[in-house]
Each structure stands twice: as structure tokens, then as C-alpha cells.
Amino acid sequence: MTPEDAWPARAPLRFTLARAAALVAVLATVTLLAFALSARFGEQSISLRTAFAEPTSTDAAIFWSLRLPRALCCPSRTSTAQSEASKTASGGI
């Protein structure tokens, strides 16, 4: 008995528009949750509900001027740092 005989054969997965749409929806949801969580954390705790409901509140000022720019800029800085580290590790300049 060979290992191939022990497991039943599977049909290969096929690309469908429904699977692609489901994957995009899941990835978009995870990205939005990560973004919301990153904007939520900081030295001063804030309420996102207050930040959106009351534009003149301290929470809104912290969110719009500090947290949102940080959440938008950090992914690009991280990928740049990873790229530079990769070049350094491989001996490239």
C-alpha cells in the first residue's frame, strides 16, 4: 500500500469569482479591523465613538491629528525598513 492509496484523491480547487470576492472581503475586513485597532491604541486612551460624534472633543483632536496619520504611515515605513534590512542582509547596497 502506497501513501497515495491511503488518502482519497481530491479534486483541485478551481478559481471562481465567488471565491475571489470572498477572499477580498475577508482580507478587507481584517485590514479594517487592524487599522481600527492601531488607531485605538496610544499613550492617552480615547473613545472612537466620541471622536466621530463630537468633532471638537479632545478625542477627535488626538484621533485626527495623531492616531490616523500614524496608522496610515506605519505600514509604508515598515515595508521600507524590511526592504532595507533585506538588502543589508544580502550584502547589497
Task: Name the one residue in this structure whose C-alpha cell is 468633532.
Answer: 55
CA torsion 67-70-75-79 (nearest 10°) is -160
Confidence (pLDDT) at 76: 57
Global pTM value: 0.51
**25-65 pLDDT, tens per residue?**
999 898 888 877 777 777 888 888 999 999 999 999 998 89
What gap in Å lies between CA 9 and CA 56, rounded to an integer? Answer: 62
* Mean of per-residue pLDDT scores for the chain: 78
Task: Provide the 10 A C-beta neighbour count for residue 78.
Answer: 10
Task: Provide the 10 A C-beta neighbour count for residue 70.
Answer: 14
Q: What is the mean pLDDT of residues 65-88?
A: 68
And the C-alpha cell for 30?
A: 481584517
